[in-house]
Amino acid sequence: MEANLIPRFTGPSAPYYTRAFAAIQSRSGFVLSFNPAAAILGPIWAGMRGMSFLFLLLCFLDLLALNQIVSGLGGNTNSAEAARISQLQDTIATRRAEATEAIAAGDTDTATRAAKLADNLQKAVDAAMAETASLTDGASTRVVQGVILLLVIRLATGFFANAIYERRYTAWRGDQTLPHGAPPLRGAVTLALASLIYGVTLYARIGMPPDWLTTFPADKTLFSDTAAWFDAGFEAAYASGQGFFDGLRNSIRILVEGLEIVLVGTPWPVIMLVICTLAWQLAGPRIAVFTAAALAYLAFYGFWELSMQTVALLGAASILCIVIGIPLGIWFARSKTAFAIAQPILDFMQTMPAFVYLIPVIAFFGTGKPPGIIATLIFGMPPVIRLTTLGLTGVAEDVKEAARAYGATEWQVLRGVELPLAKASILAGINQTILMCLSMVVIASLIGAQGLGSVVLTSLQYAAKGQGLLAGLAILLCAMVIDRIVQGSFRKRE
């Protein structure tokens, strides 16, 4: 039976593959076997045999080696660099002429600016020429490296081809709908596709390709029209829901300002004593000692007021995420329809780059601390929702049925059975939410959220490495204190 299946799977060269497969299957581990056809044809062999992923991988590796060879031979890289250098030199000549004319006219300031700009451009030209010279000097080395890389790729393909193809044969025996054999049509399609990939890529590197080949012929008016359409949509949405947006912003402002009044307005010894005592009572002496050390760091390095502002932002965002996220997680655990609708929304909230959240937030809520918290809510809420849902759906049905059999109501089942059993997952969600809110503190400072994030942002703008590192550690300690107190309080209850 085995001997009859191999010719059906391989098609041409069945005797060769029968021997190769028998040798591989008779031993454990890797069997040294070389496939000349795979080594010579490379991706074409893989494509003809129906292994599309291997075909694309080998094409990518071949192009990596061929690009190295073409780069060493020159291609059109040197000509493009030469054109750029020539353009810079023309600009330098223009600036020199402007400086000469300004000196003749007695305009010293204009002459100085033009001469300085010309000197800076000359440095760029010198650097470009030096880089071009280094590329030219190393051209032969890159050609040799490319040739060696190509040979290594092809030899590796030859040595591993039979083992890979035997695994494919094993999978085909279980599912004979998988592509098999080497039909002429598949071979023709593979050859045409490989010719297109190699031909177009090498032509773009060696020849002088048209602009549409190297730059996608995008319609720039489409971009501007679509952007204008979005602008109009944001304005219309804000106009129709201005009362809601203003009310939400004001509500969050009341929460944040209330926390700031307590944390910033109260003398620091009182706040430090209250926080350490709270940590002791809720999480134990070790967390209290850690909290005291973290607060001492904030105080000694002059971050106290900014840290309290950050704690207010982070605390408000975390509280809102937990208060909103856990009930949503409970709802989604009980309603598969609701979770199916919410899942793509949660995916969007987690995968959208954080900076992008700031655009609609600014459009609807303006700038300041409340918009920063709203952006943090969008970014930080999905983990607590997902992990609450995961923990509750993981509770065994027979445990819940046993509670109901003893007369427990649905609320009692949720409070006394499901939530305690899902506590570990919910705590992990709270932890992840706090960390996600932490990561938004610096980004939210871009729209005026202030706090320690503004110090980090200023340090990035002025390359103040030490200042930025100290502020970053302060943000980390604020988040760790909140997280340790929350986590420790739950553990102490257990």
Task: Give the tens place of pLDDT for each residue, 370-382.
Answer: 888 888 888 888 8
Sort 295 into a burial class: Cβ within 10 Å, 0-12 / 13-18 / 19+: buried
CA contacts within 13 A on the Cβ side of 430: 23
Cβ partners under 8 Å of residue 436, min gap 6: 376, 379, 380, 383
pLDDT for residue 158 is more than 80: yes
pLDDT of 155 reads 93
Query: pLDDT tens digits, residue range 438-492?
Result: 777 777 777 777 777 778 777 776 667 788 888 888 888 887 887 787 777 666 6
Do 290 and 477 meet the contact criterion of CB atoms below 8 Å apart? no
Query: pLDDT tens digits, residue range 249-291?
Result: 888 888 877 877 877 777 888 888 888 888 888 777 888 888 8
DSSP 108-149: HHHHHHHHHHHHHHHHHHHHHHHHHHHHHHTHHHHHHHHHHH
pLDDT of 76 reads 46
What proportion of the chain, given as a percentage, has pLDDT over 90?
A: 11
Mean pLDDT of 202-207: 76
pLDDT of 83 reads 63
Q: Which CATH number fits domain 242-493: 3.40.1190.10, 1.10.3720.10, 3.30.930.10, 2.60.120.560?
A: 1.10.3720.10
pLDDT of 1 reads 42
- Please state which of the ranges 183-187, 255-259, 420-424 shows the lowest mean pLDDT: 255-259
Q: Is the dihedral of CA 349, 353, 354, 358 positive or negative?
A: negative
Q: Which helix (H) or strand (E) holds 27?
A: none
Dihedral angle, C-alpha 229, 234, 239, 244, nearest 10 ° = 160
Cβ partners under 8 Å of residue 456, min gap 6: 442, 445, 468, 471, 472, 475
Structure tokens at 441: 């503190």
pLDDT for residue 228 is more than 80: yes
Q: Does residue 285 or residue 164 have the better pLDDT?
A: 164
pLDDT for residue 410 is more than 90: no
Query: pLDDT tens digits, residue range 423-443?
Result: 888 888 888 888 788 777 777
pLDDT classification of 47: cutoffs 50, 70, 90: very high
* CA–centroid distance for 171 within its chain: 34
Structure tokens at 206: 């060696």
Dihedral angle, C-alpha 325, 326, 327, 333, nearest 10 ° = 110
Burial 319-332 (b: 16+ CB within 10 A, else e): ebbbeebbebbbbb
Coarse DSSP helix, strand, coil percentages of the chain, rounded to the nearest 5 percent: 85, 0, 15
pLDDT for residue 226 is more than 80: yes
**Which regions of the chain carry the CATH code 1.10.3720.10?**
242-493
Q: How far apart are CA 478 and CA 332, in angstroms?
A: 31
pLDDT for residue 3 is more than 60: no
